[in-house]
Amino acid sequence: MRKLFFSLTALLLMVCSCSEQVDTSSRYVFKYHTVASYLEAHPEYSQYVDLLKLVQINPHMETSTVYQLLTARGNYTVFAVTNDAIDEYLQDLVDQGLISEPSWDAFTDSVKLDSIRSVIVKNSIIDGYDREDQRYSIDQVDKGIELPLSTLNDHRLTINIPDPKKPDSVCVNKICPVDPINYDIQTINGYIHQLHKVIAPKDESCATYLQEILNNKTEGYLMMARVIQACGLLDLLSIENDDTYEQKYLKGLIPDMKDYQAKSGGDKSSTPGDPDAHAPEHRRIGYTIFAETDEYWRSQGIDPTAPDALQQLINWLQTKKMYLSDEANLTDENYASPNHILYRWVTYHILPMRIPANKLVYNCNEIGSLYGRPTLSIPIYEWYCTIGKGTRRLLKIYESKESSGVYLNRFPVLDNGLKGTGHELSCEPGKTGINIGRESEMAVVNDINNACIYPIDGPLAYTDAVRDNLAKERIRFDLFALFPEAITNNLRRAESSEGKFQHVYVPQDKDYKYFDNASILNEETHFIHYNGHMTDWPNYCQDEDKVFGKYDIMFTLPPVPKRGTYELRYKVLATGARGITQVYFGSDPDNLPAAGIPVNMAEGIAITYGGQGASWGDIKDEGHDEDQIIEIDHKLRNHGLMKAAKHEYGEGKTARDDDRQKRHILIRQTLDPKETYYIRFKSVLDTDKKELYLDYFEWCPKEIYDNPEKPEDIW
């Protein structure tokens, strides 16, 4: 728990010695109130204040109360509930049969009493630590997205406008109304927002949530729940946390990397005042489910409540050809078999990571977006591997300015020529994809601990058409997109300037294997994620990853969509801090062959191509016509090189226009979707002061890079 910067006694004396006069120049700025003293001064919060004084910050350590915390210096966001809201919550507990009357005296179990007090208090407060940008104003935060930091109870909150016709009807987690007048009340140490309903998430697993649907035959996602149950996936969806990691972390057995900048050989991107890179506090397990609704199934003539609903669905999947034609599908009642048509169908709906609505795709520094406050511009996309035994399949998530929403498996026509805009021009019938209802009332984002469920507007399946369209695309994946744990645990693109989010130290395998898809192969390897929040970096999605020491590290790559010839590319942004690495690639992790000659990450593309003294001016786009640009790109490719993509923008230029950036073509060979491929990086230098730089990789099919009619695009 946070450290208190001043002694509570000293701060209380300071507050008491000051006048309680309200600054009349701004109705909602109370210069002489802390959060605690403001609440104390307003009788409508009397019950809430009583609870603040009873609930300890950390009950296991008998620490100070939450009330004392709110008297201290800091940056707090407090959703203060009124007496009426607390009375209503107590009545809800009566209706649930938990207590006999709506009174605190009705609790006969002290443990239950402490739990309810904690629910009311700790779900209502976010501690922004020492960062003023981490106290949240209702007027300033984007609606419909999760707030970057969790509550004291470790839950995430979303600020919503449930009724678009009533823009002032702001709620927390869709159902807890914010008072239309008493909000954004600014005090010495934070913001107060009056709430008319207690924030009380269900605090349950995805499996429990779905089981309740099954028990009560609740329509909405009943068909999806029935299929998930039949395919034996409820146990998987019940897992919320890696308790072994949690215990090791609490015992201090998962170390941070102290003073990492001094050990990194010249890195200059540390957080002011925080020289350490921090190991993750948690290793939570999460899922994202994209689900057709029961309303959709009824439109297809299928009754989700019918005894034979599963057989109806199997018949429908067969009739509509919702499968790969070259796979033999079981259609009996052995639904949990990896070869069953239902199992293959439903597992393509589930990702092994919890993705909040604002992070289905990452809108940050693509060209045309606004630095510091991103706006939709050219397409943004992710390719993730779905769950399922015996098969690995890619699911594409896509959004553009023209798409009017986030889509699954959308394959549009883009204006991606040398002089193009990069924007979406059109989308052919059959390729428009499936819209994700991330702002729908049916989207389940905050009530389930380990999952998000989003309704979709059409049938999702891994069909011949989907596979073939994926196989015709260049697939670019950020390194941290390889790690479901990074997304579930809010490590990738964390919207926080706090040091523990800005520089994440990935534990060494000897301490704990944190990422399933990464292997740290020796104890001299130190792996750090640089979040890049509010940093004008020209990296893909702004973030980057570095490995220090005499490193040896390996990653599991996502599958290719279809058997064929592909290139694997590796993007570098050269600086003097980088070293030289040997890359290895193959399908046997214990015996990977070298992929070409070592890569010098300190060289810009001109020097790698032409040697010392080579000129960037000779190969850059500026000053050359289209035919010359195409010819230059062709010559670069003959040397296993490409300029970086034009997609991202940073430090005043696109990545393609940056002479430090390049893509190395590592391999060009036939690959199979049934194989798992690995990439390994090993330092070839004696020094431990040169770093391995990691940003993104690409699978590119021959149909793209060797198309005689249409050269590969620059985006």
Q: What is the mean pLDDT of residues 402-430?
A: 96
* Cα(420)–Cα(422) distance, integer angstroms: 6
Cα separation, 322 vs 460, in Å, equals 8
The CA-based angle 530-695-702, given to 5 degrees, is 165
DSSP conformation class of 269: -
Sign, CA dihedral 399-400-403-409, equals negative
| Residue 117, φ and ψ in degrees, nearest 5 | -60, -45
Residue 267 is predicted with a pLDDT of: 60
**Listed residue (561, 541, 526) closest to 487, CA to CA:** 541
Q: Which of 28-32, 125-129, 194-198 has the lowest mean pLDDT?
A: 28-32
3-state SS assignment for residue 426: strand
Is residue 25 predicted with pLDDT exceeding 90? no
- The residues near 202 (Cβ < 8 Å, ≥ 6 apart) are 209, 447, 448
d(C-alpha 247, C-alpha 236), whole Å: 21
State the DSSP H helix or E strand holding residue 209, giving kind and residue range, or none if neither. helix 206-216
Residue 646 contacts by C-beta under 8 Å, 6 or more apart in sequence?
A: 367, 422, 654, 655, 656, 657, 714, 715
Q: What is the pLDDT of residue 373?
A: 75
At 269 the pLDDT is 61
Euclidean distance between CA atoms 150 and 501, whole angstroms: 13
- Quote the distance between the C-alpha of residue 34 and its chain's center: 34
Supply φ then ψ for residue 632, to 5 degrees. Answer: -60, -45
- Supply the mean pLDDT for the chain: 92
Q: How far apart are CA 681 and CA 246, in angstroms?
A: 29
**Percent of the chain clearing pLDDT 90 (strictly above):** 83
Instruction: Determine the distance from the C-alpha atom of residue 212 to the mean position of all C-alpha atoms in its chain, rounded to a whole number.
Output: 27
| pLDDT value of position 582 | 98
Query: Around Cβ 618, how many Cβ atoms within 10 Å?
Result: 12
**DSSP letter (8 states) at residue 234:** T
Q: Which residues of 579-606 are buried (b: 16+ CB within 10 A; e: fewer)?
A: bbbbbbbbeeeeebeebeeebbbbbbbb
Look at residue 461 and give its three-state secondary structure: coil
570 contact partners, CB below 8 Å, separation of at least 6: 583, 599, 663, 664, 666, 679, 697
Whose CA is closest to 413, among 421, 402, 424? 424
Q: pLDDT (tens digit, 9 = 90+) per residue, 159-185?
A: 998 887 787 789 999 999 999 999 999
pLDDT in tens, 531-584: 988 888 899 999 999 999 999 999 999 999 999 999 999 999 999 999 999 999
> Can you tell me which residue has the tokens 């439109």?
299
pLDDT at position 455 over 80: yes
Confidence check: pLDDT of 2 > 70: no
Residue 488 pLDDT more than 60? yes
Taken in order 497, 500, 503, 506, the sign of the CA dihedral is negative
- Domains identified in the chain and CATH numbers: 8-195 (2.30.180.10), 202-250+278-470 (2.30.180.10), 474-705 (2.60.120)
HSE of 275 in the Cβ direction (CA atoms, 13 Å)? 8
When pLDDT is cut at 50, 70 and 90, the band that residue 21 belongs to is very low
**Residue 387, SS3?**
coil
How many other β-carbons are positioned within 10 Å of the β-carbon of residue 255? 14
Tens of pLDDT along 491-516?
A: 999 988 888 888 999 999 999 999 99
Distance CA 238, CA 21 (A): 52
Average pLDDT estimate for 372-384: 91
Q: How many residues does the chain have?
A: 715
The pLDDT tens digits for 344-366 are: 999 999 999 999 999 999 999 99
Looking at residue 165, its pLDDT comes to 79
DSSP element (H, E) containing 499 = helix 499-502
- Give the pLDDT of residue 11: 36
Q: Are 362 and 374 in contact (CB under 8 A)?
A: no
More confident residue, 712 or 390: 712
Percent of the chain with pLDDT over 70: 94
Within 13 A of 324's CA, how many CA atoms are on the CB side?
15
Whether the pTM exceeds 0.85: the reply is yes
d(CA 453, CA 437): 10
Collapsed DSSP state (helix, strand, coil) of residue 555? strand
Q: Cβ atoms within 10 A of the Cβ of 181, count? A: 10
Please name the residues in contact with 652: beta carbons below 8 A apart, sequence gap of 6 or more: none
Q: Which two tokens stand for residue 558?
A: 């996502």
Q: What is the dihedral of CA 680, 683, 689, 694, to 10 degrees?
A: -30
List, for residues 397-406, the tens digit of each pLDDT value.
999 999 999 9
* Mean pLDDT, residues 243-247 taken together: 97
Select the more confidently predicted residue: 641 or 537. 641
Res 268: pLDDT: 59
Cα–Cα distance between 687 and 432 in angstroms, integer?
Answer: 51
Nearest to residue 668, comparing CAs of 567, 563, 564, 562? 567
Residues 6+ apart with CB under 8 A from 134: 75, 126, 128, 148, 149, 496, 497, 498
Cβ neighbours of residue 231 under 8 Å, at least 6 residues apart? 335, 336, 340, 342, 343, 346, 347
Predicted local confidence at residue 32, as pLDDT: 83
Nearest to 429 by CA among 416, 452, 415, 413: 413
- 454: nearest Cα among 300, 342, 220, 288: 288
